[in-house]
Chain A
């Protein structure tokens, strides 16, 4: 009863947006704060 899920390593969303010239405007409109994941109300 051991089951393995292979993970594939691909481009991140940041890389994709950067390649399309969309990253800067996205980050300007939506400042990124890693804490939002753990403290949503913060």
Chain B
């Protein structure tokens, strides 16, 4: 069974469209570099929770092939189960044939009714794909649909539009400040090594002996170890809930990550989130198993500051400053 933990997508704001089947059936999905499976709701899910979403109907696709393999998608309020099937998936005009994907069938928790996307398209490595399902980008590569075995992501901070995922190339207009390449430390998630401490205002606040980081478009904030979060909140003058005076933004320092010998600053304009006159820090605690060591998740707060190239051909991440 495949398991997706949807509560982790509570904060995501960026969505795109794909179609599945022949003729194509449209879905809004989250492009998630922190997972590897593709799934969408199906017509077999008849609950009110599913009624607010587009649902895939296999009987209306001439290219669909079913399987008996099961799928489980765990939501915060329960789980949705389904089956795996194969069909043509169209992403940005690319037709990926025989793509395996999950068709969610049974009733999830009621809150799924409000979920702003229908499904998730995972862009991480096949090694973490549930049920051994081949990820979409692996099929794009094996079917020679992309000229380079990489994709890149730009997330715009302010505009409702302008953000994109680019399959098979790099948009040079977003790399005028140069690209720094960082080798992956594991071919699972897009995992890289932070080789020095994380600093705030020049002070080391965490990761003093090196640690791991995952670049994840499916996580909105900067997820940091519990121990580091208290240091960061204290240093930045926030309360324990991460709330801070909006007037303080101009005087706050950069948070700096060191990757492959290079500094990658994130300014307060990026890590302070303003909403309805209140300001909070865009950090959240992540409590990982001890054996996993110190793990950071560089989510959208980080990605909005850098054009990110996910290079499967060379197993590396490229970062180009946008400012």
Contact = CB atoms under 8 A, between A and B. Distances in A.
B189 A38 contact: yes
B223 A34 contact: yes
A6 to B, nearest CB: 5
Interface in B153-175: 155-156, 159-161, 163-169, 171
A40 B156 CA distance: 30
Contacts of B94: 3
B65 interface: no
B267 interface: no
B283 to A, nearest CB: 11
Interface residues of B, number: 58
Interface string B1-17: 00101011111111111
A36 to B, nearest CB: 5
Contacts of A8: 14-16, 160-161, 163
Interface in A1-42: 1-14, 16-17, 20, 22, 26, 29-30, 32-40, 42
Nearest to B121: A5
Given A30-B77, A39-B289, A12 B164 contact: no
A12 B11 CA distance: 5
B24 interface: no
Contacts, number: 137
A1 B115 contact: no
Interface string B137-165: 00000000111000000011001110111
Nearest to B146: A1
Given A5-B91, A26-B77, A35 B287 contact: yes
A3 B240 CA distance: 43
B116 A9 contact: no
B281 interface: no
A9 to B, nearest CB: 5
B163 A37 contact: no
A37 to B, nearest CB: 4
B246 interface: no
A10 B297 CA distance: 22
Contact of B164 (A6, A30, A35): A6
Contacts of B287: 33, 35
Contacts of A40: 3, 5
